[in-house]
Amino acid sequence: MADYQAPLRDMRFVMYDVFRADEQWSLWPALNQTIDRETADAILEEAAKLAAKTIAPLNRPGDEQGCQWDNGEVTTPAGYKEAYRLFSEGGWNGLGGNPDYGGMGMPKVLAAQFDEMACSASLAFTLYPSLGAGACLAIDAHASDDLKATYMPPIYSGQWTGTMCLTESHAGSDLGIIRTKALDNGDGSYAITGTKIFITGGEHDLSENIIHLVLAKLPDAPAGPKGISLFLIPKFLVNPDGSLGERNTLSCGAIEKKMGIHGSATCVMNFDGAKGYLVGEVNKGLNAMFTMMNYERLHVGIQGLGASEMSYQRALAYARDRRQGRSASSAQQTDTAADPLLVHGDIRRMLLNMKALNEAGRAFSTYVAMQLDIAKFSPDQQERDKANALAALLTPVVKAFLTDIGLDSCIVGQQVLGGHGYIREWGQEQLVRDVRITQIYEGTNGIQALDLLGRKIFQNDGAYLGLLLNDIRRSTKPEDEFAETLLNTVDQLEKLTARLLSQSRRDPDAINAAGVDYLTALAYVCYGWMWLSISKAAAHKLASCGSDPAWLAAKQVTARHYFTRLLPRFHSAAAAALAGTGELFALSEDQF
């Protein structure tokens, strides 16, 4: 089984050569005294060591042992507590957190690389700290100063962890019908009663306290999503001096037996009049929770990328080592009974597909992270507004497409390993099981497609998309090797969008029917833009006598592979998106 090695060279190339993030940092007053290339490289090096030496060794034994539930208490797999202590001591919980409350204040572009490393090493372990970072975003954006000062520093330090509690047994994506109730205690606190399911890290033994962000409704709340409020509910109540008091009236009723991520405790949480505190405004809890959910959706997309990268590393190592058959042209290693798998065209096709999609995915997630940084740190209001629009447009694409590709690449890696990919010994089957959830949680990928087409495009008549397509056109020069192909698909995407907007005005089902195929088509165009940018950056480094010319030349070959073998998938997705709703609604319920 191949050991995980963080792709630091490619991460640095994307950050510095493709997107020139370090130049941006130097221009932003909020960052230019905090982060530079030397500091970022040091952080990446330490992150790579943590991922490879501390987190990755837990992945397989954590999966085999899993979490244990006993009378409401949850025990994580052996080694998790020590690894979490090292993780926390390194400050990784607060890497991108607000420095006013103990975070490191690093840009999201850098944090995204760390997220990928941690997810490649062990998705199950990484879920525990990632939810705390997301909870702090919601608290920081919407809670009172007292709540921020009380709860954010211990989460950033790793002393406490966080969760998000949305789903109920009858209410998954339709949060407007939740039944969890909140009653005003009259002293600034509320009593929360209800049951939430599928709560990642709802109970565990890694931290002293667990801070739950819970959606609930007050008695006089409006019906539907406009009546949802958000509450902060600690497992242990916090005394005025910050010490822990009595246990709150909440409990873990069970943990789920799941297909994968066995080391992550997925809990049923019962709140029995638990004391909580309002976050943000009454009846505007869904808006506050989306601050956390949007962060988590980017992170979930990166989870798909992390699994895909691990799959590629494992499949490549196997293809180099495994001897099977002879090359179609002639024997490559005459001193052995067979040649390595890597001589075979189909093996190379699978590996190059994975490589091309991984490297484009890394660039794409970094690009979206950069939009979040611009929106947060740029002193220019116009730049911030544009970046916010692009991040809103592309967040559902990152979440859905990177996780779809993540599962596909893990299955392809399994195919490269053949029978060894199906058995426990090589670890590939665990990747397939673990990554599968990423297409489902934080909003299924169908919900992401509906969000993209229905909200981010239809509701503003394609204005956000226009910003993206204009940027692609402006950055693509006639002399660029792939310019004609890319610009042709951009034109087709624009026409596709216009036709779907027209369809949706006549047929209310059109958006839901076309959404997934449309998101896929848009994603392949975005990946094409990423590969054009990667290819140009590699050519520039080659022309300036950059080091490692073979590695840079491989970028250009992989770009050609993407444009010839993978971008054509855009056309089938676009055709499917335009197919309309006729046959989808032609069958009666009994005919299914």
Residue 23, Cβ density class (10 Å: 0-12 exposed, 13-18 middle, ≥19 buried): exposed
CA dist., res. 289 & res. 166, Å (int): 9
Dihedrals phi, psi of 55, to nearest 5 degrees: -85, -50
Write the DSSP symbol of residue 53: I
Sign of CA dihedral 227, 232, 235, 238: negative
Interatomic CA distance for residues 423 and 489, integer angstroms? 41
Is residue 77 within 8 A of residue 61, CB to CB? The reply is yes
Told to judge if 442 belongs to the known catalytic residues of this protein, a careful annotator would answer: yes
Q: In which element (H, E) is residue 216 found?
A: strand 209-216
20 vs 105, 372, 585, CA distance in Å? 19, 15, 49
Q: Which two tokens stand for residue 544?
A: 């300036």
Amino acid type, 402: L
Contact in structure between 452 and 397 (CB atoms under 8 Å): yes
Collapsed DSSP state (helix, strand, coil) of residue 94: helix
**Beta strand ranges found along 23-179 (DSSP E):** 68-70, 73-75, 160-165
Q: Which of 24, 78, 91 is nearest to 383 (CA)?
A: 24
How does 34-69 read in b/e, with b if 16+ C-beta sit within 10 Å?
ebeeeebbebbeebbebbbebbbbbbbebbebbbeb
Cα angle for residues 278, 281, 283 (degrees, 5° grid): 95
Question: Measured between alpha carbons, how far is 196 from 445 in angstroms, rounded to an integer?
Answer: 22
Point out the catalytic residue in the list 208, 246, 442, 479: 442
Catalytic residues: 442
